[in-house]
Structure 1
Amino acid sequence: MYRFLLTPRWWGINVFVLLAIPFCIFMGSWQLSRFEGRVHDSRAATEQAASDHREAAQPLDKMLPVDKATSGRRVSVHGQYGKQLLVPGRQLDDKNGFYVLTLLRTDSGEALPVVRGWLPGRADAAKAPAPPAGEVTVTGALQASETPGDNGVSAQGGLPAGQTAAISSASLVNLVPYKLYDAWVTLDKADSGMKAVPASVPDGSGLDLKAFQNLGYTGEWFVFAGFVVFMWFRLLRREAETVRDVALGLVPAEEEAPAQVSAG
């Protein structure tokens, strides 16, 4: 009854199935490994953030450039505060508000953007407290420069003077007369009644939408593998039924081929 499995048509079907199933399983396993990797990175970032609050602050230059290993690490920087800007449209504790960003002019001649704290409501320079005068040493979490479009950061256009949408050297270069570090710091303890801004998780290390997309793709590939097996058994059963009907004389032999085609 199953001699039809040796026909060229079924050789082609069988080869396709034998190749498709391992491919689907491989792709599903790969997507699952991507999801597990993101889970591991998220746990590592959480543990790192907890340990960063306990470790001693390191000199800024030792932590540059900012990457996954140094993002969120505590640094200590000495200098004088200079120009101050506001960063509107920032949320903290599910409330809308703005960051108070002040440029710290360091001994190296470069300026480091320092987020001194967060205030609720619309960005208003009158609400932002003035920075401390004279020489200061600031301690806080090191952060990578932001990119418009990432993490809810909007584009620069349309903001009034004294405000910036993204905290990055590219966005600030036309707003301040200093050479800038390609990084910024959020203070451990906010100044003058403001709320401290917690360090953000490095890009690609959290359980974001991409992580759950990987998990969804995992399920899709395994479903594809199961569908291939299901269709193979369905075609096999239809073909076997057709061969049986021909053998019993229920279907003329010359109608066997059309029946097989319609079954496929």
Structure 2
Amino acid sequence: MYRFLLTPRWWAINVFAVLAIPVCLIAGMWQLGRFEQQVDNHRQAEEQAEATGEPRPLEELLPLTTETVGEQAEVTGTFDAGHQLLVPGRGLEGETGFYALAMLRPADGSPALPVVRGWLPGTADAGRVPEPPAGEVTVTGAVQAPESPSEVEGPTDGLPSGQLGVIGAASLINILPYPVTDGWLTVRDAEEPMRAVPVTAPSGTGLDMDAFQNLGYTAEWFVFAAFTVFMWFRLVRREVEQRRDAELGIAPPQQAPPMSRSRPREDVPARSGSPAPPA
């Protein structure tokens, strides 16, 4: 009954099914691995952001990577009191306020480091921010990656003088007369009445849309594999039924031909009252 599976046509169908099923499963497992990798990166970034650890010199953490973002750094330098900035529209624990941003000029002459000294609630007001400490100080805090406008919830354009929308070297290059590090630091202990800004996980490590796309692709590949198996069994069953009907002499039902319009016959007698056709 199943000898037809050895015919050339069915050999092609069988080879296609045998190759398609493992390819779909391998592709699905690869997409699942990508999703699990992003989940692990997200968990690792959260654990790294919450950990304090021993502070390290900033030069050991540069250039910043997803592994070094969130690490504790220790920098010695002098605050530039003439270039203090406010970063409005920043939330903390359900409240909206602003960051107090100051530039720390390292003692070794390296590029200045933007330092978020703390957060204050309400509208941005430079008069509410305490003056930075004078002289050489040592600042300890977590290093953060430069921000992008898509990551910022607050305003980024049209801000008044003395305010900044995005923290990063690209935003500060036109404001400061000296180079700055492409990153920033949030202090571990803020001065009163400011509150310390918590460390955030680096961008690109969270469960974003790309991660859930990988999960969706995983389901699609598994569905393709199941559909291949289903269609193979369906074709085999249909072939068996057709051959069984042929052995029993049962012809498959034929579709009736479409009815065509009948043309009037010329020899049909004319209706009464109408003139006879000419001879």
Q: TM-score, normalised by structure 2?
A: 0.80
Moved over 6 A (4+): none
Q: CA deviation at 1:72?
A: 0.9
2:116 alignment partner, SS class? strand
Report if the CA contact (8 A) 1:156-1:171 is conserved: no
1:142-177 alpha-carbon deviations (Å, 9 max, x no partner): 11222232x346784333222222211111101122
3-state SS of the aligned residue for 2:112? Answer: strand
Per-residue deviation, residues 188-219 of structure 1 (Å, max 9, x unmatched):
01223122111111233333443333223222
Q: In terms of mean alpha carbon deviation, does 178-187 or 1-10 score higher?
A: 1-10
Q: Distance in 1 between matches of 2:152 and 2:240?
A: 59
**How many angstroms apart in 2 are the aligned matches of 1:216 and 1:243?**
41
Q: Which residue of 2 aligns with 1:77?
A: 75
Q: Deviations over 1:59-81 (max 9, x none)?
A: 11122111122111111112222
Confirm or deny that 1:103 pairs with 2:64. no
Partner of 2:182: 182
Equivalence for 1:261: none
**C-alpha distance 5-173 of structure 1, shift in aligned 2 (>3 A):** same
What is the deviation of 1:127?
3.6
Would you say the 8 A contact 2:89–2:155 is kept in 1? no
Deviation per CA, 1:201-242: give whole Å up to 9, x if none: 123333344333322322222122112111221222122212
Query: What are the residue-to-residue correspondences of 1:9-158 with 2, within 5 Å?
Result: 9-51=9-51, 53=52, 55-82=53-80, 83-107=83-107, 108-149=109-150, 151-152=151-152, 156-158=156-158
SS in 1 for 2:211: helix
Amino acid at match of 1:75: A
Identity, in percent, stands at: 56
Counterpart residue type for residue 71 of structure 1: V
Moved more, 238-247 or 119-128: 119-128
Higher helix share: 1
Residue range with higher mean Cα deviation, 117-126 or 14-23: 117-126
Shift of 1:8: 3.8
Question: Structure 1 240/154 Cα, relative in aligned 2: closer, same or farther at 3 Å?
Answer: farther
Closer, same or farther in 2 for the Cα pair 1:217/1:154, shift >3 Å? Answer: farther
Alignment partner of 2:139: what SS?
strand
- Alignment deviations for residues 35-92 of structure 1 (CA, whole Å, 9 cap, x no partner): 22223223333443444x1x32111112211112211111111222221112223222
Amino acid of the residue matched to residue 239 of structure 2? Answer: E
Contiguous gaps of at least 5 residues in structure 2? 255-279
Cα contact 1:39–1:207 (8 A) shared by 2: yes
- Helix, strand or coil for the counterpart of 1:241? helix
Q: 1:239 to 1:180 in 2, by over 3 A?
A: same
Match of 2:264 in 1: none
Q: Which residue of 1 aligns with 2:171?
A: 171
The 1:23/1:94 distance shift into structure 2, 3 A limit, reads farther
Secondary structure of the residue that 1:179 maps to in structure 2?
Answer: coil
Distance 1:143 1:5, change over 3 A: same
Distance 1:156 1:46, change over 3 A: closer
Quick check: 1:194 aligned with 2:224?
no
Q: Which has the larger radius of gyration?
A: 2
- Contact 1:75–1:141 (CA under 8 A) maintained in structure 2: yes
1:121 and 1:4 map into 2 onto residues whose CA distance is 80
Structure 1 CA distance for aligned equivalents of residues 209 and 193 of structure 2: 35
**For 1:75-124, what per-residue CA distance to the aligned partner results, in whole angstroms no more than 9, with x for missing partners?**
11122222111222322223333222111122215211001112223433
